[in-house]
Amino acid sequence: MSRVALVTGGTRGIGAAVSKALKEAGYKVAANYAGNDDAANAFKSETGISVYKWDVSDFDACQKGIEQVTADLGPIEVLINNAGITRDATLHKMTAEKWQQVISTDLDSIFNMSRGVIESMREKGFGRIVNVSSINGQKGQFGQSNYAAAKAGMIGFTKSVALENASKGVTANVVAPGYIGTEMVRAVPEEILAKIVGQIPVGRLGETEEIAKAVLFLASDDGGFMTGSTLSINGGQYMA
């Protein structure tokens, strides 16, 4: 019987690659998205993956979304917390609104979603939670104190969840991508992109499929002895 996997931010960029990889591996996949109906519907038409719209920063919306996915596909056994936003500014120019938007969407969301599935996973004796952090949560980044704080907080959250649930067959891990060739990154002006690539020892951007393959391993039965870990996938740009 196919396992049920839910991917937040699952219709674009890294999330879309993860959703596709899980489906190709035989999972029943639900892809959450926040607001771009056109992109989500195009993704659904292309892949046949079910899409669900809700705001991951809203606890009640997350619980309702989880209930709907469960009713449609079955109990969620694999949760990929991928949704995230940026609202960049240096600290002396950052507004409280920019700070809170990023913390709510990038960090609060993983509590909202994980809390909604953890009891079912524990009862079943199997669960996989994979949280998508960032190289900037490991090393910090100019103009991203909000984003770096959220992504670093994700790592601490994951270690605690791993400790609490290992005996119940539930693992929790982090992937921390570096600069990946998403549509957003490739839209950066060529001279700036060249500087970014110049800082990556392997000499190129990562591919979304490379992140997806790592997530797929952590989600699998074969990943059962790996928990509380952070996989840095950044081409050698930062070695933690």
How far is residue 42's CA from residue 49's CA, in Å, rounded to a whole number?
10
Is 228 exposed, middle or buried (CB count within 10 Å of its CB: 0-12, 13-18, 19+)? middle
Angle at 9 between CA 221 and CA 164, to 5 degrees: 45
The token pair at 149 is: 């704080």
* Residue of 27, 33, 52, 147 with catalytic role: 147
Buried b (16+ CB within 10 A) or exposed e, 98-130: bbebbbbbbbbbbebbbebbbeebbeeebbbbb
Q: What is the rounded distance in angstroms from the CA atom of residue 211 to the CA atom of residue 234?
A: 10
* Structural contact between residues 179 and 234, judged by C-beta atoms closer than 8 angstroms: yes
Angstrom CA distances, 149 to 80, 135, 137, 179, 233, stand at 20, 12, 6, 18, 19
Burial class of residue 34, CB neighbours in 10 A (0-12, 13-18, 19+): middle
147 in catalytic set: yes
- Catalytic positions: 147
